[in-house]
Amino acid sequence: MPKLTGAVKDVFEKTAIYPVATASKDGVPNVVPIHFVKIYDEETILLVDNFMNKSLKNMQENPQLAISVWDMKTNQAYQIKGQATIVTSGKPFEEAVAWVKTGMPDVNPKSAILMKVTHIYNSQPGPDLGKEL
């Protein structure tokens, strides 16, 4: 299983808005910008479901998703793919709610999404574009 370490982690932490892509069970794509996304551990990403509709439905039908991260200053970019687990109670959900409440006290998160990382790809221009790490 790939790890979110080194350059990938650095670029991830510099990203402010994360394009998150899902697909329905029929393969219809959906991509949305999400702010509350962070590395949960070296193999897991936490996304907070504050306003998801199509994305949440897609993850219920098809748990595969992808996130793009980039650093405009260094031109480093990565695509991270994984499998989602929707959590509505317990420690990850409570942590997600507390995180959102620090910046948006009037928002009530609906769920936490734990994305287990399965693949990391280089997305920066050059000869290694598309190469799996």
What does the pLDDT look like over 46-97, one tens digit per residue?
999 999 999 999 999 999 999 999 998 998 999 999 999 999 999 999 999 9
Domain annotation for the chain: domains and CATH numbers: 6-122 (2.30.110.10)
DSSP E strands, 13-110: 18-23, 29-34, 37-41, 44-49, 64-71, 76-87
* β pairing state of 111-122 and 29-34: unpaired
Determine the pLDDT at residue 33. Answer: 97
Tally of helices (H runs) and strands (E runs) in the chain: 3, 7
The pTM assigned to this predicted structure is: 0.95
